[in-house]
Amino acid sequence: MTTYADYTTGDPVADTKAPSGPVNERWDTRRFEAKLVNPANRRKQTVIVVGTGLAGGSAGATLAEQGYRVVQFCYQDSPRRAHSIAAQGGINAAKNYRNDGDSVHRLFYDTVKGGDFRSRESNVHRLAQISVEIIDQCVAQGVPFAREYGGLLDTRSFGGVQVSRTFYARGQTGQQLLLGAYQALSRQIAAGNIEMHPRTEMLDLVVVDGRARGIVARDLITGKIDTYFADAVVLATGGYGNVFYLSTNAMNSNATAVWRAHRRGAWFANPCFTQIHPTCIPRTGDHQSKLTLMSESLRNDGRIWVPKAKGDDRPPNEIPEGERDYYLERIYPSFGNLVPRDIASRAAKNVCDEGRGVGPGGQGVYLDFADAIERMGRKAVEAKYGNLFDMYQRITDEDPYRVPMRIYPAVHYTMGGLWVDYDLQTTVPGLFAIGEANFSDHGANRLGASALMQGLADGYFVLPATINDYLARNPHKDEVDDDHPAVQEVVAETEDRLNLLLSVDGDRTPDSFHRELGELMWEFCGMARTDSGLRKALERIPQIREEFWRRIKVPGTGEEFNQSLEKANRVVDYLELAELMCLDALHRSESCGGHFREESQTPDGEAARRDDEFGYAAAWEFTGTGDAPTLHKEDLVFEYVHPTQRSYA
């Protein structure tokens, strides 16, 4: 009997859309080679955009400006609420306003290196090129970036980068950028160029004759399941971090759209590449529903430590200096508390696993500002971090000016996603994936302040240029309607799935399954992964899935506003996606970026990459629920940034 872990390796996959030639000319070349759609014909072509975050919002607005008919969806009550809004830190751009040696090439270099050599050079270079246009665009929209007294834009250095290239709007950069995109979107909605469907969730993809032609979506208020047809479908539905139950994602962020697309033929790349953010507020108990991130800028001045002795439960201020272990400063003397996210996260896990963690359940480490307050004065600390300290105090009821903060790593971002080519098109023709939903630009690890950059680059500039080529080559001809057998089939499947969920009438809530899955994933597919742990998870997940379909309880009906039904349906997809994440993590027996395999480390405990064996992106093809998928490897070629092993010691 073959198990899920006995995957087969299929033909390699290549990105056929990326032009060759010098890396800095590829984007221009591609834009020139791409066919255009006559402006008069654009109105006849419909594009569905799912999601209204930075990527979806900017894409919808831009496509509508170009003259396409856009039909857009979000599950929230308003397109303004997408989770991009919660990004705090900032957005990178190679403007070199500081004259500190930054350039497009340096941003390109930093991003490829930061991604631990698991991303594509062509894509990353394009991202760095476009970064400068994004800032121009956002300023023109009225995004209130921080400014200097001279009226020019302020920047800061972020995430251990040596240049100051991060533009920000206090601690609410994501909010301000998202509102900019939302306002552009609103303008097009008012002009009648976008048909907006809020509180409508995509439940499946309609593929007709091998092409993406529409979606099946549920009106969350009436429960009505409807079909929407188009000439192309764009998924901008974000990441899948909520597989872990506890993450910094919004409660309703989910993987249904990408997973359903995957089931319909879109390959899923590098699902095991997840980013764990080191500075989140630890959980307080089983009731915890989500985790809150605090900007990692806190590590610039805070010192991280745990007691030297196991089980030392004295209050932090009573532990003498000599009995504290400033472990990051000890292990990484040159970078200290500023080591990259994955290293800081793993080190915290290690000390907690040793039994030296602090706070409830021993799942936390101290981030101490006592020295900073002594050195800079309370006033200066307040000016720099006041809002973060307030937020911490509101959530924990502890005063970080007097007691050290407690922090613990949490799932934050997923670098993996639907496999896309240089045009951001998935393996299903006519289906595009942008923003966090695709896998393309961050490799195995994302740099701070780069998520906003990628979302907006994809939505404002990349997709609107590349989708033309697809639409021009596949002019609108054949109508699809509800009578088409392929459409009837997908609608019936969707309805059956929801009806089944409602009819089981078991004794466990959707949340209880989600929590159980999340704990399993955090344990075995979280910060550190092992062959045996991943195998255990792969054994357990089908059991949970089986139990789910036996014991799930969803009250109410499908023909009404039913949040339990929404939740249960999302858990169905998590239960399948989790399995693929574990398999991907199992097959990639090297460590790289956010993926740490304990078997693959250097003598001093660092991640050991194995470029010869794993210098590829892993694109998985779906073969059936619980059936071993097929792996397609995309070899990654590095012509400009040559792979080196990271060293932070």
Q: How far lies 72's CA from each of 58, 63, 299, in Å? A: 12, 11, 39
Order of strands across the sheet that contains 365-368: 274-280, 405-414, 365-368, 303-307, 324-325
Q: Which of residues 251-310 bind another protein (CB under 8 A)?
A: 251-252, 284-285, 287-290, 292-293
Cβ 519 to another protein, closest distance in Å?
16
Contact pick of 3, 8, 20, 78 for another protein (by CB under 8 A): 78
CA atoms within 13 A on the CB side of 227: 23
Contact pick of 371, 556, 602, 613 for another protein (by CB under 8 A): 556
Residue 567 and residue 510 in contact, taking contact as beta carbons nearer than 8 Å: yes
Contact pick of 51, 198, 340, 359 for another protein (by CB under 8 A): 198
CA 6 to chain centre: 28
Examine residue 191 and tell whether it contacts another protein (CB under 8 A): yes
Stretch of 230-238, 480-488, 553-561, 571-579 contacting another protein, by CB under 8 A: 553-561
Residue 277 CB neighbours (<10 A): 24
Q: Which residue has the tokens 């979107």?
A: 185
Q: Give the residue from 548, 478, 473, 470 showing the smallest Cα distance to 509.
A: 548
Cβ 199 to another protein, closest distance in Å?
8
- Residue count of the chain: 649
Contact pick of 99, 190, 322, 483 for another protein (by CB under 8 A): 190
| Separation of alpha carbons 175 and 158, rounded Å | 18
Contact pick of 66, 103, 164, 601 for another protein (by CB under 8 A): 66
Q: Which of residues 83-112 bind another protein (CB under 8 A)?
A: 83, 85-86, 95, 97
Nearest to another protein of 1, 40 (CB atom) = 40
Nearest to another protein of 186, 275 (CB atom) = 186
Catalytic positions, written as ranges: 341
Residue 5 and residue 627 in contact, taking contact as beta carbons nearer than 8 Å: no
Nearest to another protein of 97, 326 (CB atom) = 97
Nearest to another protein of 567, 646 (CB atom) = 567
Examine residue 393 and tell whether it contacts another protein (CB under 8 A): no
Examine residue 218 and tell whether it contacts another protein (CB under 8 A): no
Q: Which of residues 110-169 bind another protein (CB under 8 A)?
A: 133, 135-142, 144-153, 169
Residue 37 and residue 472 in contact, taking contact as beta carbons nearer than 8 Å: yes
Nearest to another protein of 183, 589 (CB atom) = 183
Stretch of 75-83, 105-113, 232-240, 524-532 contacting another protein, by CB under 8 A: 75-83
Examine residue 170 and tell whether it contacts another protein (CB under 8 A): yes
Tokens of 474: 């596949």
Residue 369 and residue 302 in contact, taking contact as beta carbons nearer than 8 Å: yes
Contact pick of 72, 76, 129, 468 for another protein (by CB under 8 A): 76
Contact pick of 395, 492, 637, 649 for another protein (by CB under 8 A): 395
Cβ 177 to another protein, closest distance in Å?
11
Nearest to another protein of 507, 635 (CB atom) = 507
Nearest to another protein of 318, 397 (CB atom) = 397
Nearest to another protein of 250, 541 (CB atom) = 250
| Separation of alpha carbons 119 and 634, rounded Å | 10
Tokens of 418: 């639907």
Contact pick of 17, 98, 553, 633 for another protein (by CB under 8 A): 553
Q: How far lies 33's CA from each of 18, 29, 52, 599, in Å? A: 11, 6, 29, 46
Contact pick of 28, 313, 560, 635 for another protein (by CB under 8 A): 560
Residue 465 CB neighbours (<10 A): 18
Cβ 457 to another protein, closest distance in Å?
11
Buried b (16+ CB within 10 A) or exposed e, 416-448: bbbbbbbbbbbbbbbbbbbbbbbbbbbbbbbbb
3-state secondary structure of 618: strand
Contact pick of 26, 30, 42, 69 for another protein (by CB under 8 A): 42
Contact pick of 46, 62, 129, 247 for another protein (by CB under 8 A): 62
At a CB cut-off of 8 Å and minimum separation 6, what does 281 contact? 291, 292, 293, 294, 392, 395, 396, 406, 407, 408
Q: Which of residues 459-488 bind another protein (CB under 8 A)?
A: 460-461, 464
Contact pick of 18, 23, 61, 521 for another protein (by CB under 8 A): 61
Cβ 228 to another protein, closest distance in Å?
19
Examine residue 28 and tell whether it contacts another protein (CB under 8 A): no
- Helix H or strand E encompassing 487: helix 485-504
Which 3-state string (H, E, C) describes 328-388?
A: HHHHCCCCHHHCCHHHHHHHHHHHHHCCCCCCHHHCCEEEECHHHHHHHCHHHHHHHHHHH
Nearest to another protein of 269, 463 (CB atom) = 463
